[in-house]
């Protein structure tokens, strides 16, 4: 379903002239200091349809960058990515694209469209989204009056009702109360049983062991380990301790 071949992502940081004055000034002095580094380096990765995969690793290890490349937010510097999915849905951050002055209902509609989904399809599952998120009585209230938990529930609810066959979640499960988390796990499990491929970034090892069968450990832009979830998590944790 997903194939990454020699995937590399290089980020630049350079003293970019952000104003006219700075760019003129740059003409008269030596080139500004700049830096570049590889967040991902020559990554090879194959993911089959229906796999449930966790990505672990320290901060800055390239986890989010990999997800953003898969989601189509970043373009790879070199290498190729091919994805064969009927519908990919990526939650890089809960509530991305929400406007706090719009009501819950308006935000659902906008978010649905942002993910490239059809309005005709929303009609069929709007009620399910509302029920799952548990914000029915605040549906016509501007989002600025929602608690952080309520916003996350709404965002999550939209994503899982979009019927994705590839679901990408970046560190978004640690929200909501225990009851809602349980609801989310059950729902994701249900999706996976019906064949949805899951890609999950998390620092919560219990979540990972519970939901995934394979784990990928990213470190310094490369694959440190890739295999069965318990074994990979054990190696990752013991490396962290030493």
Residue of 86, 118, 193, 240 interacting with another protein (CB under 8 A): 118
140 binding another protein? (CB under 8 A): no
Beta partners for 37?
Answer: 11
Site string for another protein, 51-90 (x = CB under 8 A): -----------------x--xxxxx--------------x
15 binding another protein? (CB under 8 A): no
16 binding another protein? (CB under 8 A): yes
Task: Report the phi/psi class of residue 169: left, alpha or beta, with left for phi > 0 and alpha for psi in -120 to 50.
Answer: beta
Beta-carbon contacts of residue 205 (< 8 Å; ≥ 6 apart): 56, 233, 237
Which two tokens mark 202? 């998390």
d(CA 97, CA 211): 27
97 binding another protein? (CB under 8 A): yes
Site string for another protein, 175-214 (x = CB under 8 A): ----------------------------------------
Count CB neighbours of 12 within 10 A: 10
116 binding another protein? (CB under 8 A): yes
How far are the Cα atoms of 7, 125, 170 from residue 62, in angstroms, in the given order? 12, 35, 12
Taking the complex as a whole, how short is the minimal distance between the CB of residue 205 and another protein, in angstroms?
25
Taking the complex as a whole, how short is the minimal distance between the CB of residue 58 and another protein, in angstroms?
21
46 binding another protein? (CB under 8 A): no
Taking the complex as a whole, how short is the minimal distance between the CB of residue 44 and another protein, in angstroms?
20
Q: Which stretch binds another protein (CB under 8 A): 17-25, 42-50, 178-186, 200-208?
A: 17-25
Beta-carbon contacts of residue 56 (< 8 Å; ≥ 6 apart): 63, 201, 202, 203, 205, 208, 215, 216, 217, 218, 232, 233, 236
Complete edge-to-edge strand list for the sheet that includes strand 88-91? 88-91, 166-170, 197-201, 52-56, 214-219, 222-228
Q: Site residues (CB under 8 A) for another protein? A: 11, 16-20, 23, 68, 71-75, 90, 92-93, 96-97, 99, 101-102, 106, 109-110, 112-116, 118-119, 142
């Amino acid at each position: 379903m997903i194939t990454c071949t020699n995937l590399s992502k290089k980020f630049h940081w350079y003293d970019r002239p952000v104003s006219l004055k700075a760019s003129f000034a740059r003409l008269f002095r030596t080139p500004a200091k700049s830096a570049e580094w590889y967040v991902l380096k020559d990554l090879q990765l194959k993911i089959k349809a229906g796999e449930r995969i966790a990505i672990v690793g320290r901060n800055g290890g390239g986890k989010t960058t990999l997800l953003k490349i898969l989601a189509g937010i970043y373009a790879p510097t070199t290498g190729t990515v091919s994805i064969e999915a009927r519908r990919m849905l990526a939650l890089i951050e809960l509530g991305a694209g929400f406007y706090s002055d719009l009501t819950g209902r308006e935000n659902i509609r906008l978010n649905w469209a942002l993910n490239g989904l059809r309005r005709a399809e929303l009609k069929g599952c709007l009620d399910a989204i509302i029920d799952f998120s548990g914000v029915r009585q605040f549906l016509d209230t501007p989002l600025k009056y929602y608690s952080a938990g309520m916003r996350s529930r709404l965002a999550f609810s939209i994503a899982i009702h979009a019927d994705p066959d590839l679901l990408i979640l970046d560190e978004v499960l640690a929200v909501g109360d225990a009851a809602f988390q349980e609801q989310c796990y059950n729902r994701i499990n249900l999706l996976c049983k019906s064949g949805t491929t899951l890609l999950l970034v998390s620092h919560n090892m219990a979540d990972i062991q519970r939901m995934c069968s394979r784990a990928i450990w990213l470190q310094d832009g490369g694959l440190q380990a890739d295999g069965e979830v318990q074994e990979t998590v054990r190696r990752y944790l013991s490396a962290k301790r030493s």
